[in-house]
Amino acid sequence: MNLYINTSSAFCELALFQEDKIVEHSIHEEAMKHSTVLHGMIEKLLEKYGGVSKITCITLLNGPGSYTGLRVGLAAAKGFCYALSIPLILLNKLDSLCQQYLQSNLNQNAVACLQAARQDEYFFCAQTREKTIVPAEVQNTLFIRETLSNLPNMVLISTDILPVAFERDVTVLPLELEFIVQLALNRKANKKFNNIFHAEPFYLKKVHANLPKKRF
């Protein structure tokens, strides 16, 4: 079975997939409790289905979102992958939402997705059916406005109501768990797994580790 972990939003979410079926789905009712409830939720979930040995893959919604939440989820996912020698699938919320929209709206060829980041900055990506125009990254409002002005037919979507208007309607959509199942199944079938060691949270800035300074 495939264990799905989502700590990118306010509420901790888990699911179990068996091929294309959702076996179990649970969301913790208290917000911002990822570090205290995640492992207990996983243990309780797996007890119902034969224990941890039944897990053959981990799928993680790896951001954007709260940095603390993302670290908690990724650390748990890596721990299971290393301990069980199973693969890791990382999904980006913006990319996934764009793909979901294009699959559900066959008459639309281009879509951009936004999520608020810091002041005057947004997580942003833009795609057509054929290619990625702007990969998921943090951009300022000036860049986003210029990109959208050059693409007048592009639909703008988001998982949240945006605090700033971008001179066109924004369609607010949830990322559906059924679509996550499709993405995970596709990635697993094509063996498009992520490198466990190099995996890092998709947050505002890339994570860098500096070499220690020579002191002697």
| pLDDT 10s digits, 1-22 | 999 999 999 999 999 999 999 9
3-state class of 191 per DSSP? coil
Say yes or no to pLDDT of 207 above 90.
no
Say yes or no to pLDDT of 216 above 60.
no
Say yes or no to pLDDT of 37 above 80.
yes
Say yes or no to pLDDT of 23 above 70.
yes
The tokens describing 95, both together, are 């990319």
Residues in the chain: 216
| pLDDT 10s digits, 160-206 | 888 777 888 899 999 999 999 999 999 999 999 999 999 999 987 55
Burial status of residue 177 (CB atoms within 10 A of its CB: 0-12, 13-18, 19 or more): middle
Peptide bond into 64 cis (omega under 30): yes
Q: Give the global pTM.
A: 0.90
CB of 197 closer than 8 Å to CB of 175: no
| pLDDT 10s digits, 100-136 | 999 999 999 999 999 998 888 999 999 999 999 999 9
Burial status of residue 109 (CB atoms within 10 A of its CB: 0-12, 13-18, 19 or more): middle
Using pLDDT thresholds of 50, 70 and 90, give the confidence band for residue 209: low
Using pLDDT thresholds of 50, 70 and 90, give the confidence band for residue 25: very high
**What average pLDDT does this structure show over 37-59?**
94
| pLDDT 10s digits, 134-166 | 999 999 999 999 999 998 889 999 988 887 778
**What average pLDDT does this structure show over 87-92?**
98
DSSP one-letter string for 177-202: HHHHHHHHHHHHHTT-PBPTTT----
